[in-house]
Structure 1
Amino acid sequence: MLLLSHVGFSFMEDLVSTVTARGLKVYVLSSLPEPHFQASRPGALADLADDVRVTDGHVLTPRDVEDHLDRLEAAGASVSCCLTVWEGYRHLMALANARLGVPDLDEKQVLELRDKLTLRNRLADAGLSRGRASALTPGTLAERQRDGGRYFVKPVSGIASFGTFPLTPGTTWADLERIAAEARADTVYASAFTADGMEFLVEDYVPGREFSFEVVVVDDEPHVVAVHEKCEVTETAGTVLENACVSPPTSLSQEEIGVGIRWVASVLDTLGLGWGCFHVEARHAPGGWDLIEVNPRVGGSLISPSVAALTGGPNLLDLWLDSLLTALRPDGFRKDLKALSFAEDGSTPSGNATFFRVFFADPGTIREVGLNDGLPLQPVVTHVLLEPGDVVESSSREVFLGQLLWSMDLTGRDAVLPELMPASERAIEIVYETERA
């Protein structure tokens, strides 16, 4: 199994565990880590994998992938498939799988999905979105601000909510230039944007509550394995922070979930997406469902373990990997997948529910950080990602502090959540060296 790693990370520990659990060898192709990780991270990867290749650049290229596959083939290795969770390399994964003869999206489809300007207007033309988008220029910025409507700004091709925010009368072109400069200077995130730098679009604001559909598509048949409601979303001047999610949704009826599942199927069909794992972000309002974006990968934060807690079995990474490994003979996997997925009418076979919260750090130097054990329900997954001494810089992208996942019976969820949600805001306690006023 070939795994593509960006600057030495991209959830390699989780991916390697998932692959080796199936008795497969792990080959890792990674771009060069950031300077402060160059001494340690390649060795850590070597301890994880059977074979590791680290390139000279911070960004993997198609030639890197082709050359590495040539090297593995010359060494007699038999590679089953390729996987990456780094969206900026999803087209490289598609390239590798095409060469290996594994059914997957093709490179062109991936790149089209990542072009959010064209995607929005393509779905509007098909009647699947009520909004439209335009390239953001000084001229279109001034026009949208003059007409006084609600609009949203985002990179044409981006990641991690970097540079996504509602347009306001106070937004200036200098703000956009500052965010673009941050993107160019960010070793980790710069590769996720277009080759010409960070280009922005402005689109009609999509109203409503926000949700995500976790979908595995096998041979043109989509299976929705989870629907998450983003029960807390914070829109700031430079980014959008997704603070907490619950699944199944609490504010939708079964019928409304069913309509959403059928709408997602129509979106995927219109875009010709017959294989893969997708994190489809959408909003629901009285007028129906509308798209935020289609991500050709697993969702971030705790989406994958949330799926495991919901199904009582495989997480989303497991399902994506198994869909690749069985792609040439998918019938058995497809039967198993259908048994744990939502039905078209919006019902779920699971009696479980999940709630998770993501914590973001503020700028400053961390003095203390730890878990609060005085919670009404203990989490089943705990990740604290920063530690004392870490310095958090001001940025237009989210800086993760940690994340926690809770699991509960669906029948008892309504009794648990009202107490758990506010208490969970204090689940990670953090103290900075200089407290902010």
Structure 2
Amino acid sequence: MSTENARGVLLLSHVGFSFMEDLLGTVTARGLKGYVLSSLPEPQHQASRPAALADLAADVRVTGGHVLTARDVEDYLDHLQAAGAAVQCCLTVWEGYRHLMALANARLGVPDLDEKQVLDLRDKLTLRNRLADAGLSRGRASALTPETLAARQRAGGRYFVKPVSGIASFGTFPLTADTTWTEVERIATEARSDTVYSSAFTAQPGSGSPAAGSGHGVTGAMEFLVEDYVPGREFSFEVIAVDAEPHVVAVHEKCQVTETAGTVLENACVSPPTSLSQEEIAAGIRWVTSVLDVLDLDWGCFHIEARHAASGWDLIEVNPRVGGSLISPSVAALTGGPGLLDLWLDCLLAAGGPADFGTALKSLSFAADGTTRGRHATFFRVFFAEPGTIRSVALNDDLPLEPVVSHVLLKPGDVVHSSSREVFLGQVLWRMDRADRDAVLPWLLPASEHAIEIVYERERG
């Protein structure tokens, strides 16, 4: 590893991925080196993925296990510093490593959430009830057990089930009269056997979850909660907080959501929202600010998922990271400049430093009255694969509006297995003038359903 111009950023990668190309591009665009610490990729990627990262990064270390640990991070920081690298900060988009990012930034002296705050945010059971106690959520949650499952079914009403500590909508679903404890155990078993996702469902030490280790939940480390169903349309607030001042950079409306027996698929988003008034957006910004204040979240990037109904705003969850899918490119298309990854990295690099970052961030964000200076609108659609073998898959080149970003993530010959988590096929983002949005969306929404064309092999029988 060359130590010439060795200022760089430590990037934590889960099994060789986690937006590494995007992150390394963002880092190197600032004249910084990328130092990648990755857990061991899945077997099919162990030969190719480390080599691909080595072509893009200044230094790469791959551990012997599929999950990074605090010791891995400490050892790699020791290695980098001994080699003369000047590590400016640590960044990851994999939520299961967010507490490790906080640990690294604490060692580097970079303002960030602390490790306990991150772990507490990942405990959705305690978080829900904490916000309910503060008057910021009308729902409450309980540990899911055979007894609480039966009690909620007897009571009637609407409830939602999700992992206490989860990711990617895996194992999240509305409770019905047909839900069985056997089905819950099946999902837990599937999660534990999933190389990529299993660690994200493990109760982290110090999380404070009353369910963790209680012996009343699902066998093993994975715990579920059951909570009052939160009504309304779904939105997400993309927030950068700097020294206790939150900036809402974008608000996305989930204009198409599918709830299945084992997961929730977020199919399409539009920004700015089409169904909210300026006053309702302003109320949402005040609510988000109150949530961050109650939770004492002073620094970082947050993807806050919420629902809005006539009764007001309520929480789905607080994610201490950039939103997944095309959230960051959508922000770039909205601002005409930096995406959310750029802003998060700049927040870490500028923490305690130049005041002009805060000024620039404010100019990109919503004002307190719910207005935004941006003249663009965005729409993106995420595609999910069905179980089967893919015969062909490609972007449709006959779309009425050309996308600004398109990703096809699977290829012919890939086999998709039945799962309780979504399997991403691809994603496509469009940008339009905000003034034209209401005329464009009615025909773009249905047309976009065919943006990626896929054909599966027919079963023989």
SS at 2:187 equivalent: helix
Residue 323 of structure 1: aligned partner: 347
Question: What do residues 87-134 of structure 1 show as CA deviations (whole Å, max 9, x unaligned)?
Answer: 000000000000000000000000000000000000000000000000
Counterparts of 1:331 and 1:116 in 2: how far apart (Å)?
34
In the alignment, which of 330, 352, 357 is matched to residue 333 of structure 1? Answer: 357
Partner amino acid for 1:49?
A: A
Partner amino acid for 1:27?
A: Y
Question: What do residues 5-32 of structure 1 show as CA deviations (whole Å, max 9, x unaligned)?
Answer: 0001111111000000000011110101
Partner amino acid for 2:259?
A: E
Counterparts of 1:218 and 1:100 in 2: how far apart (Å)?
18
8 Å contact kept, 1:376–1:419: no
TM-score, structure 1 length as denominator?
A: 0.99
SS at 1:398 equivalent: coil
Residue 147 of structure 1: aligned partner: 155
SS at 2:97 equivalent: helix
Instruction: Say whether 1:136 aligns with 2:144.
Output: yes
In the alignment, which of 1, 14, 29 is matched to residue 22 of structure 2? Answer: 14
Q: Number of matched residues?
A: 437
Residue 120 of structure 1: aligned partner: 128
Residue 90 of structure 1: aligned partner: 98
Shift >6 Å, 4+ stretches: none
Residue 268 of structure 1: aligned partner: 292
Deviation for aligned residue 1:373: 2.2
Residue 421 of structure 1: aligned partner: 445
- In structure 1, the gaps of 5 or more residues are none
Instruction: Say whether 1:240 aligns with 2:260.
Output: no
Counterparts of 1:305 and 1:75 in 2: how far apart (Å)?
34
Question: What do residues 135-163 of structure 1 show as CA deviations (whole Å, max 9, x unaligned)?
Answer: 00000000000001100000000000000
Instruction: Say whether 1:293 aligns with 2:278.
Output: no
Quick one: percent identity of the two aligned structures?
A: 82
SS at 1:94 equivalent: helix
8 Å contact kept, 1:163–1:238: yes
Counterparts of 2:442 and 2:53 in 1: how far apart (Å)?
42
TM-score, structure 2 length as denominator?
A: 0.94
Residue 50 of structure 1: aligned partner: 58
Counterparts of 2:458 and 2:10 in 1: how far apart (Å)?
45
Counterparts of 2:34 and 2:424 in 1: how far apart (Å)?
28
Instruction: Say whether 1:404 aligns with 2:428.
Output: yes
Deviation for aligned residue 1:75: 1.4
Instruction: Say whether 1:26 aligns with 2:34.
Output: yes
Counterparts of 2:221 and 2:265 in 1: how far apart (Å)?
23
Deviation for aligned residue 1:197: 2.1
Question: What do residues 49-96 of structure 1 show as CA deviations (whole Å, max 9, x unaligned)?
Answer: 111111110000001111111111111211000000000000000000
SS at 1:257 equivalent: helix
8 Å contact kept, 1:28–1:51: yes
Cα distance change, pair 436–163 in 1 and its aligned pair in 2 (3 A)? farther
8 Å contact kept, 1:218–1:330: no
SS at 1:297 equivalent: coil
Deviation for aligned residue 1:330: 4.5
In the alignment, which of 96, 102, 113 is matched to residue 110 of structure 2? Answer: 102
CA RMSD of aligned residues (A): 1.1
SS at 1:80 equivalent: strand
Map 1:340-355; keep pairs closer than 5 Å: 340-355=364-379
Counterparts of 2:397 and 2:30 in 1: how far apart (Å)?
35
Partner amino acid for 1:90?
A: R
Counterparts of 1:13 and 1:376 in 2: how far apart (Å)?
29
SS at 1:232 equivalent: strand
Residue 78 of structure 2: aligned partner: 70
Partner amino acid for 2:29?
A: A
